[in-house]
Amino acid sequence: MVGALFIVAALGYVIASAFALRSLTQDEESARKHALYSLAGAVVLHGVYLIADLTQGSQMSAVHQTLTGVSFGLVLAYFIARNLRPGLDVLSAFITPVVLFFFLGSGLGRNVRHVSEGVRSALLPAHIGVNLVGLIAFGLSFAAALAYLLQERALRQKRIGGIVRRLPPLDVLDTFGLRSILVGFPLLTLGIVSGAFWAFRLEEVQLQSTHVFAIIAWVLFGSVLLLRLAAGWRGRRAAYGTIVGFLCTCAVVIGYLLRGASA
């Protein structure tokens, strides 16, 4: 039952991604409505799957459940953002594929062993929570950065119609991306610190690829913030730094899934 719900929800996100990309390339009201309704339908299916999975006793300490929460939280954060800031609805074309990526990763995460009893403590939910919300914030900043680069390139090529008319202005995308990083960076810092705490607690101090990518992501996002706030760094360079930083956080997730699945 749960497996069938997962497949149906995944197909819902595939369809929503297709409609979202169509709404980006076609200036039609019907395209935007189809993108919105298909994504809303996928969220409903996702919610049903999440409830069914929780009723089977899954916990947020399970990797697949954490990734399910990330994907669900990201799409909810998008809906909140588009209601608070008009004009961001077109970001669904960049966010929905990311949601699908994390959701499919949650299916792979079912093969990963659960967290051992030695690692569990009262602080474990906090560790998972800060990483979850941090990933959601970085997912939003990643979508804004992609949209910024697409908009900026179209403007440099003096294409003033089509996608340019549907994407938010550059300053809106730049500001939204900065605010998302301001939320995600402190949470990433807490996640790294708490992760190091458990590594030393279990005497697992060997440096692994996932740790390296997490540190690289922290350095990249920290550098982007520092250069933006202290040196007025904006635009294309900040967008590239944001994208690479987010890809590093995704590499952490992928590395953990692959390492756990083979353990």
Helices within the chain (DSSP H only): 2-25, 29-55, 63-84, 92-108, 124-156, 163-166, 170-201, 209-231, 236-261
Q: Where are the domains of the chain?
A: 2-261
Residue 207: per-residue pLDDT: 55
Residue 168: per-residue pLDDT: 86
Dist. CA 141–CA 149, nearest whole Å? 12
Residue 57: per-residue pLDDT: 59
Residue 263: per-residue pLDDT: 46
Q: Which residue ranges in the chain fall short of pLDDT 50?
A: 60-61, 112, 261-263
Dist. CA 97–CA 196, nearest whole Å? 31
Q: Residue 218 carries which side chain, given as an amino acid letter?
A: W
